[in-house]
Amino acid sequence: MQYFWTCNSGGNGEYLDGGKTYWLHLPPDVPVRVFWSVVVYDSTVRPRDGEPQAILSAYSSTPNADGSVDLYFGPNPPPGNSRNWIRTEKGSNWVPYLRCYSPLADAAEHAWEPGDIVEVETTTKVQ
Name the nearest CA neighbour of 55 among 14, 96, 16, 22: 96
pLDDT digit string, tens, across residues 17-58: 989 999 999 999 888 888 888 888 876 655 555 555 667 676
Report if pTM > 0.85.
no
The domain locations on the chain are 2-120
- The CATH H-level (homologous superfamily) assignment of domain 2-120 is Domain of unknown function DUF1214, C-terminal domain (2.60.120.600)
- Distance between CA atoms of 21 and 125, rounded to whole angstroms? 11
pLDDT over 60 at 118, yes or no: yes
In this prediction, residue 46 carries a pLDDT of: 56
| pLDDT (0 to 100) of residue 66 | 95
